[in-house]
Structures are given as structure tokens and as C-alpha cells.
């Protein structure tokens, strides 16, 4: 019998101690460990100039201790009446839901597009008409970027505020529209990894100043604010990025172009291998080629997924049903929540599976996974695409 080497779902790839050393030496020298220190300041400036390469306006950055806190503070800053509805797609990580609730709003769980698996302005408009929702948290699911220009047009036309949760989309999602804030994660599993961390990017410098103030408890540090420095201006939290995390983010950013190219190459080969062995049984998320993929998700018939999970378990290949249960299924005990029908999300999720992916994957690993996928999908049909066809018309 063939012996299979266990293949983990994800292997984080952070800079090693040698790459970190120059930044840690700066910390030793500065003796500044948090509270908007020099490394954090330099990181925000580096990120801003990177984002400005993809925008026709100035981009401002506020780092946070996680994307979740970045989302919470950005949503809080929308200053909507407590209990306002915020539309969110059913297919996303739970942090999108918890951020809305903790900002004092009510999640309105809506459907996704059958091809790119994202919430669209059309879906959000329909959800807002039905429920009176005042904002949308549009998610760049699995790192697939949202179209900021289209969301900006939606925001201007409807007056409904839009925030983009691009936690896993660094390098693929930019801030082309100045009025749409975008939130990113620097968690260890992301392509720009600091261990923990996040940041908010926006063309609106006032919004970024507010998020920064909220990340520091809400304390006023502005001598021109008409309020004494050190006084509480609003109710924030402690969501500051420490200098140590900023150091890791700098070293990660140094390595990012090489990391991104490697991830892209592995992803391409992986997908080609699967397509060659059983492509007719698989369904992929439509959209842009990702700059630095961090997950590998594929759709198949529900019974094929069940077979694949068993096979993978037996062969030591780790899998995960990413973003499942869907938000409305989690929401059984999480109130208040408005649950709209989400037939497309349910159909997509019924056959969706996350396969192992990391920058350490070898051709052998890919071959082992492809063999299991080929066996599991043999003689199956992609039910989900048949089901989905009915939603096109």
C-alpha cells in the first residue's frame, strides 16, 4: 500500500529570526514598544505608498491589533443609530458577523453571487430595500477582491454606507475608490503576516484619524481638537498594534513579492493538476487571479465532498469547510440577526471544500491531493452548478 505523508491544511510562513533582527534592533534602540511607535508609523507609511500605486488619491492607513478590531472600529465610526441593519454575506468568516454586533448593529445576512461567491451591490440593494439596512459589510471572500468603484457608485446612489472586509485579500484588493474603507488582516495565516494584526486603508483621512483614536481607547491626542489632550473623546477600545508586531509586518513586507510569486505559482500548478485529473467535476470561484493566495477552495458535488473528506482523513490530508457553517447557521444563538433566504450560498457551500495549501507544498503533495480528489469525484456531477442555473434567470 502506498504510504502517504500527512499534508497539513495550512503552514504559516512568517519571516525567521534573521529577517526580524534589524527591526528588533530598532526596537531595542528606540525603547518604544507600542502606542504608535516609530515602527508602526513607518509601517503605515510603507503601506500607504504601496496602496497609492493602485489609486489616484492619497491613501491613509491605521493599523489595528486585528482585522476584527479594525472592522469593529470602522463600523462603529459609521455612527449609525444603534440597531441599524448592516448587510453581510452568508459566506464569510464569523468575525464579519461579530464585528457588526459588537459595533451595536444588526447583521442582515444576505446571499452571494453564484459565480464569484461574493455579495454584489445588486444583492445588497435588494437586501436593504427589504430590511431598511443602512450599511453593507462587503466581504472579499477567499481573498477575491471586491470592486470598490462599483461599491462607491452604490454608496453615492443609495446613501447606504459600505465597508469592505478584505481580511484575506492583501495584494489583490486595493482602495481605488477614496470613499470606501477597506480592512485587512495580518494574522499568521495571511499573506502579509504579523502573527496578529490588521489595518484599515482609506482615502478619507478623517476616518483613519477616527479609527486610530478609537484604537487608543478614544483618547484625544490632537492639540487642535477643541478638547484637552488626554481626555476621552469617544468610547473606543485598545486595538493598537505593538512595535513587535509592526516589526514582523515590516519583515513580512520585505519578503512579500517573493512570497506572493511562490504562492501564485503553487496555486496555478495545483489548479492545473486538479483540472487535468477531474476538472469536469470541479467548480472554481470566478474572478481575478489572486496576487498571493492563502487558501485553496474548490466546489464539487455534495456526495463527492463527503467521499473526499473520508478519503483525505484516511490519507492524512487535512481539509476544512471554510466559512461553514454559514453565518445564518451560526446565528441560531446569536441575536439579533435578520436572516434573508440564501439559496445560492447554501448551494455553493454544500459542495465547497478547502484543500491543503501553503508556500511549502511540493509537487508530490499536489499529486497526492489530486489523486484523492480524482477518486472522490469520479462519476459525480456538479449538482451545485445545476441548482445554481435556476438562480441566473
Ligand X SMILES: Cc1ncc(COP(=O)(O)O)c(C=O)c1O
Instruction: Please tell me the distance from the alpha carbon of residue 361 to that of residue 108, in angstroms, as a whole number.
Output: 38
Contact between 67 and ligand X per CB under 6 A? yes
Q: Residue 177 or 327: which CB sits closer to ligand X?
A: 327
How many residues at the interface with ligand X, by CB under 6 A? Answer: 14
- Residue 133 makes CB contacts below 8 A (sequence gap 6+) with 84, 85, 86, 87, 108, 127, 160
Residue 16 CB coordination number (10 Å) = 10
Q: Cell for 255?
A: 519578503
190 tagged catalytic: yes
If binding is defined by CB under 6 A, does position 215 make contact with ligand X? no
Q: Give me the least distance between CB of 136 and ligand X, in Å please.
A: 14
Of 256, 191, 176, 218, the residue nearest 10 (C-alpha):
191
Q: Does 146 bind ligand X (CB under 6 A)?
A: no
Options 190, 240, 333, 339, the catalytic residue: 190
Strand 85-89, strand 106-110: pairing: parallel
Q: Does 295 bind ligand X (CB under 6 A)?
A: no
**Binders in 187-206 for ligand X, by CB under 6 A:** 187, 198
Q: Which of residues 95-124 bind ligand X (CB under 6 A)?
A: 95-96
Half-sphere exposure of 273 (CA within 13 A, CB side): 19
Does position 66 interact with ligand X (CB under 6 A)? The reply is yes
Residues 44, 111, 165, 365: which binds ligand X (CB under 6 A)? 165
181 contacts ligand X (rule: CB under 6 A): no
Window 224-253: residues binding ligand X (CB under 6 A): none
Region near ligand X per CB under 6 A, out of 93-101, 120-128, 236-244, 262-270: 93-101
Q: How far is CA 49 from the centre of its chain?
A: 21
One-letter-per-residue 3-state SS of 53-85: CCCCCCCEEEEECCHHHHHHHHHHHCCCCCCCE
CB-based contacts of 329, cutoff 8 Å, min separation 6: none
Using the minimum distance from each CB to ligand X, give the nearer residue, 86 or 373. Answer: 86
Asked if 143 is part of the footprint of ligand X (rule: CB under 6 A), the reply reads no
Per rule CB under 6 A, is residue 273 in the interface with ligand X?
no
Binding of ligand X at residue 185 (CB under 6 A)? Answer: yes
Q: Which residues are designated catalytic?
A: 190
Binding interface with ligand X (CB under 6 A): 66-68, 92-93, 95-96, 139, 165, 167-168, 185, 187, 198
Amino acid at each position: 500500500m502506498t504510504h502517504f505523508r500527512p499534508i497539513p491544511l495550512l503552514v504559516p510562513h512568517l519571516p525567521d529570526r534573521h529577517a526580524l533582527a534589524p527591526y528588533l534592533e530598532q526596537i531595542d534602540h528606540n525603547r518604544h514598544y507600542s502606542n504608535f511607535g516609530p515602527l508602526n508609523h513607518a509601517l503605515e507609511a510603507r503601506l500607504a505608498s504601496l496602496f497609492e500605486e493602485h489609486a489616484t488619491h492619497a491613501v491613509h492607513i491605521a493599523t489595528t491589533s486585528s482585522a476584527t478590531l479594525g472592522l469593529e472600529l470602522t463600523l462603529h465610526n459609521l455612527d449609525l443609530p444603534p440597531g441599524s441593519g448592516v448587510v453581510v454575506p452568508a459566506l464569510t468568516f464569523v468575525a464579519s458577523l461579530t464585528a457588526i454586533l459588537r459595533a451595536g448593529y444588526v447583521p442582515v445576512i444576505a446571499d452571494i453571487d453564484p459565480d464569484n461567491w461574493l455579495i454584489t451591490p445588486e444583492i445588497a440593494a435588494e437586501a436593504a430595500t427589504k430590511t431598511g439596512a443602512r450599511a453593507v459589510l462587503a466581504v472579499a471572500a477567499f481573498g477575491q477582491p471586491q470592486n470598490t468603484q462599483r461599491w462607491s457608485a452604490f454608496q453615492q446612489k443609495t446613501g447606504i454606507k459600505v465597508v469592505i472586509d478584505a481580511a484575506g485579500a492583501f495584494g489583490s484588493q486595493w482602495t481605488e475608490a477614496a470613499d470606501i474603507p477597506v480592512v485587512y488582516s495580518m494574522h499568521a495565516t495571511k499573506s502579509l503576516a504579523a502573527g496578529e494584526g490588521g489595518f484599515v486603508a482609506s482615502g478619507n483621512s478623517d476616518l483613519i484619524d477616527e479609527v486610530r483614536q478609537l484604537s487608543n481607547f478614544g483618547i484625544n491626542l490632537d492639540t487642535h481638537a477643541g478638547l484637552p489632550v488626554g481626555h476621552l473623546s469617544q468610547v473606543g477600545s485598545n486595538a493598537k498594534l505593538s512595535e513587535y508586531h509592526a516589526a514582523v509586518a515590516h519583515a513580512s513586507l520585505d519578503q512579500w513579492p517573493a512570497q506572493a510569486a511562490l504562492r501564485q505559482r503553487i496555486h496555478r500548478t495545483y489548479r492545473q493538476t486538479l483540472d487535468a485529473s477531474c476538472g469536469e467535476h470541479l467548480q472554481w470561484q470566478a474572478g481575478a487571479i489572486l496576487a498571493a493566495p492563502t487558501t485553496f477552495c474548490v466546489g464539487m458535488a455534495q456526495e463527492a465532498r463527503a467521499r473526499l473528506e473520508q478519503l483525505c482523513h484516511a490519507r492524512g490530508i487535512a481539509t476544512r469547510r471554510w466559512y461553514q457553517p454559514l453565518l445564518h447557521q451560526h446565528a441560531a444563538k446569536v441575536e439579533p440577526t435578520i436572516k434573508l433566504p440564501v439559496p445560492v450560498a447554501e448551494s455553493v457551500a454544500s459542495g465547497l471544500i478547502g484543500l491543503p495549501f501553503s508556500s511549502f507544498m511540493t509537487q508530490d503533495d499536489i499529486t497526492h491531493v489530486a489523486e484523492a480528489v480524482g477518486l472522490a469525484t469520479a462519476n459525480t456531477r456538479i449538482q451545485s452548478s445545476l441548482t445554481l442555473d435556476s438562480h441566473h434567470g
